[in-house]
Amino acid sequence: MDPLYLTTPIYYANAEPHLGHTYTTIVADVLARFWRARGRSVFTVTGTDEHGDKIAEAAARTGLAPQAFVDRISATFRSTWEAAGIPIDHFVRTTDAEHVAFVRAVLGDIHARGDIYFGSYRGLYCYGCERFYQERELVDGLCPDHRVAPTEIAEENYFFRMGAYQERLAALFDEARIAIVPDRYRNEVLALLREPIGDLCISRPKSRLAWGIELPFDDRYVTYVWFDALLSYVSALGDRRDELWPYAEHLIAKDILKPHAIYWPTMLLAARLPLYRRLCVHGYWQMDAGKMSKSLGNVVRPLDMKARYGMDAFRYYLLRDMAFGQDAEFSEVALVARLNGDLANGLGNLASRVLRMQQSYFQGAIQPRTPEGVDDALPAAFARARGESEAHVGELAFHRALEAIWRALDHANKYVTDTAPFTLAKDPARRPRVGAILHELCEGLRVAAQLVEPFLPETARRLWTMLGLPPGRLAALDTPWGTAFAIGHRTAAPEALFPRVETLPG
């Protein structure tokens, strides 16, 4: 299996991590865990984008020097992912010395080959996006993203001959050398390519913005956001670049589709670097049908959610209620409904019923399976859940993957009701049957723990411990049904996986 190099965007170091950043980073974590459990080697990178007007302005507002300011914000991002239980292989910063050196080397190369030129430019600039807009891209004269009128700017600058690569770029998408998923975003990119893409302004005069990377061929200018930030995907790999870069897949939201689908491949072509493989684009989390913003006071902080509901419940909600690629509306009420329903009543209740009976009838000791106790439909339901959920993760349809797993959990809960071990247990002669039923159900819980691990890592670990299984076996997905537990193996007394939340938020 090819290795996988998975990136999130590098987030602007001008404010603390919120729901949107958290979603993309969680998706990276789900994919990393999913593929690792299936034997694929995965390397993940996230980080912070630390140069540019926006950052310099945010620093000025706090009275800190830009470097001190980005040190602080960057540390917050890093510690947030750590506290949220999202391990990342490398955290890149655009102020890292290796990154700065790499950007300067690439700029020098492209300039030497004639793909960067000096010219004057007048255009409509959005500070929020840190890019120029063409008139036809505006909605009612406003930036479609920030809903503010762009500022007209005229100045001399350096330009990257992006337009010269337009035909080669279109061919890359036609030949599927670069995949863009879901399809709707590929179509959006193909539509953009029907118009001339033009050249890209890549510099700022230092007189206006000093907080950037100085151009190697003109010290009056710095480069900023896109030429700087996109290259971090490569610079982050250090000496593992040749090994990993050709297997790159980027996770982003739709807001930064154009820089990733148009600027970035042309930059790679000009720099003579291999292309990335796939661009995975998700929609936006909306708040009350609008944007999340500090001024509206509706910023959702990941660690607040963790404190209130537990990280796994938050992850489950985000992955279950957003169809990757489409927008979704964030609602804490909906989160609580998922927590109390799917998690507490679905998975939590199954685990506690089964492990409680196992304790009270057999002191936790696993009993033999008997032909009479075997219900083929139960292992079949879990085998189906595995097949379907794997196919759905392959298409990034995480909500469908979870649905498929929950169908098996529903089946298991129904199996408990139908076979009624709690009734049979009253008759001592039926005890072997009860033991056999519980053995089947423990196998169901074992497979459930393995299937939910990428989505709910902490829950999977806790369930695994309650089942008394060795931690190293959690990734052993191919353990045949009926072989995970030796007879007499002891399961532990259950503790609630998901305490219900009785008070509604708001």
Interface residue with ligand MSP among 88, 124, 252, 451 (CB under 6 A) is 252
Sheet holding 200-201, edge to edge: 131-133, 116-126, 151-160, 200-201
Helices 19-37, 66-83: crossing angle, 10 deg rounding: 50
Active site residue 146: yes
CA distance 386 to 118: 56
CA distance 343 to 499: 9
Catalytic residue among 21, 51, 411, 439: 21
Which residues face 5 on adjacent strands? 43, 248
Catalytic residue among 126, 201, 280, 442: 126
103 interacts with ligand MSP by CB under 6 A: no
Q: Which stretch binds ligand MSP (CB under 6 A): 55-63, 70-78, 248-256, 466-474?
A: 248-256
Q: Distance of alpha carbon 490 from its chain centroid, rounded?
A: 37
Scanning residues 37 to 66, which ones bind ligand MSP (CB under 6 A)?
A: 49
Interface residue with ligand MSP among 84, 213, 230, 434 (CB under 6 A) is 230
Catalytic residue among 111, 143, 306, 442: 143
Catalytic residue among 111, 129, 280, 439: 129
125 interacts with ligand MSP by CB under 6 A: no
- Strand 328-330 to strand 179-181: parallel, antiparallel, or no bridges (unpaired)? unpaired
24 interacts with ligand MSP by CB under 6 A: yes
Interface residue with ligand MSP among 30, 116, 229, 501 (CB under 6 A) is 229
CA distance 477 to 196: 50
The residues near 183 (Cβ < 8 Å, ≥ 6 apart) are none
Cβ(377)–Cβ(355) below 8 Å: no
348 interacts with ligand MSP by CB under 6 A: no
Residue nearest to ligand MSP (CB): 20
- Strand 218-223 to strand 203-205: parallel, antiparallel, or no bridges (unpaired)? antiparallel
Catalytic residue among 18, 51, 54, 399: 18
Binding residue count for ligand MSP, defined by CB under 6 A: 18
Ramachandran angles phi, psi of 502, nearest 5° = -95, -25
Helix runs in 131-211, H state only: 166-174, 183-192
Active site residue 143: yes
23 interacts with ligand MSP by CB under 6 A: yes
Assigned token pair, 26:
């969680």
Number of H helices and number of E strands within the chain?
Answer: 20, 15
Active site residue 18: yes
Active site residue 280: no
In the complex, the smallest distance separating the C-beta of residue 449 from ligand MSP, rounded to whole angstroms, is: 29
Active site residue 306: no
Write the binding mask 288 to 327 for ligand MSP: x where contact by CB under 6 A, - elsewhere: ----x-----------------------------------
Binding region for ligand MSP (CB under 6 A)? 9-12, 20-21, 23-24, 49, 229-230, 252-253, 255-256, 284-285, 292
- Catalytic sites, residue numbers: 18, 21, 126, 129, 143, 146, 291, 294
